[in-house]
């Protein structure tokens, strides 16, 4: 419904269990393809295995992944 109504949608993906389920559900709803960008804010607090998982799933599922960092806050 929101996908049809709004033009500039994105989903946040923290790589946690809840947001990963939401990405999985979006894939199911759109027949295996997520038609909107996924935004992940890299806080540099995630363990390397989580970042590897994120990158692996993004490639495997053909996700449009946008990764951002607030470098000023990390300093």
Residue from 47, 37, 62, 61 nearest 15 by CA? 47
% pLDDT > 90, the chain = 76
On the question of pLDDT at 74 being above 80, the answer is no
pLDDT digits (tens, 9 = 90+) for 29-52: 999 999 999 999 988 877 899 999
The per-residue pLDDT for 53 is 96
Residue from 48, 35, 33, 50 nearest 2 by CA? 35
C-beta contacts of 3-6 below 8 A and 24+ residues apart: 3/35, 3/36
DSSP 3: H
On the question of pLDDT at 70 being above 90, the answer is no
The per-residue pLDDT for 3 is 86
Q: Quickly name the fold that domain 2-74 has.
A: Rossmann fold (3.40.50)
What is the pTM assigned to this prediction? 0.81
Pairing of strands 11-12, 38-41: parallel
């Amino acid at each position: 419904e929101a996908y049809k109504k709004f033009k500039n949608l994105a989903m946040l993906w923290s790589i946690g269990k809840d947001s990963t389920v939401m990405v999985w559900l979006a894939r199911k709803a759109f027949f295996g393809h997520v038609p909107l960008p996924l935004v992940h804010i890299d806080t540099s607090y995630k363990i390397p295995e989580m970042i590897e998982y994120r990158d692996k799933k993004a490639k495997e599922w053909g996700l449009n992944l946008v990764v951002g960092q607030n470098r000023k806050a990390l300093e």
